[in-house]
Amino acid sequence: MKTEDTKHFVCSISRITAIVIMLLCVVFTVSGCVALSFLLSSGPYEKKIPPAYDLKAQQDRKVFVWVECPRSANADFDVQDKLITAFQLYLTEKAGFNAGNIILNSSVSNKSLLLDPKKVARSQGAGYLLLVQVDKYEADFLQVREYFAGELVTRAVLFDVHSGQTLWPNQPEGKMIHIAVEMETEGRNALVSRLTSATAHCILRYLYPCEKLKFKTADERVSLQEAYEMETY
């Protein structure tokens, strides 16, 4: 009788051991899959925000970047040129556009305001026109060393040159970008560079897959609605 009880006990232990081993195998398998999935998933540094219009994916046609700086904006003489340069550098060095597909209106003369940007873009063989207009510019000396403060307000629209259709944004008045620097300690040139670089980023980030962690910039001024939309991307 004792022998049979012992055999029964041993069999029970064996079955329990087998069940435990099977459960452990399942746990390790699931854990391994989860870990592998975590490792293969895009981290915060790799996640990109889908563009409002993917201009980078349309590099079979050239892009004409046209920057207008009317007198009403009260911009300094070099702001237009530096803004054009900022767009060129951002497109080629940060957004990864083909430099050969980018055309710029490098003239800082107000005579360009008398020309039709769409006609000029068409004559240059461009398929797209990115029109950027400066609405407001300020640069204020803070009376301390070389400290400056300033702001730059622009509006941007992307057109299809051949059809004349507006591709971006949905607002008929264009996408307004407001950049404000409360204090720049390295002088006026650094202030202008900071304003123009941030402006180029805040416009072009909507036209190519921009990394999520680089989408926002500290110098941008946005409404509560825009801030909410950025947080929900």
Read off the CATH number of the domain in which 77 is found. 3.40.50
- Asked if pLDDT for residue 122 goes beyond 90, the answer is yes
Structural domain including 155 reads 48-231
pLDDT of residue 15: 57
**Radius of gyration (C-alpha) of the chain in whole angstroms:** 29
Residues 122 and 14 in one domain: no
Alpha-carbon gap, residue 195 to 61, rounded angstroms:
29
pLDDT of residue 229: 63
Alpha-carbon gap, residue 111 to 103, rounded angstroms:
18
* Phi, psi values for residue 137, rounded to 5°: -145, 135
- Asked if pLDDT for residue 83 goes beyond 90, the answer is yes
Residues 99 and 124 in one domain: yes
Residues 9 and 64 in one domain: no
Residues 24 and 124 in one domain: no
pLDDT of residue 40: 44
| Sequence-ordered list of residues with C-beta below 8 angstroms from that of 3, at least 6 positions apart, any chain | none
Residue 88's Cβ-count burial label (10 Å; 0-12, 13-18, 19+) is: middle
Q: What would the pLDDT profile of 53-67 be if each residue is shown by its tens digit?
A: 999 999 999 999 999
Residues 147 and 162 in one domain: yes
Residues 109 and 191 in one domain: yes
Tokens read off for 2: 């004792």
Amino acid type, 57: A
Residues 64 and 161 in one domain: yes
**This model's pTM is above 0.85:** no
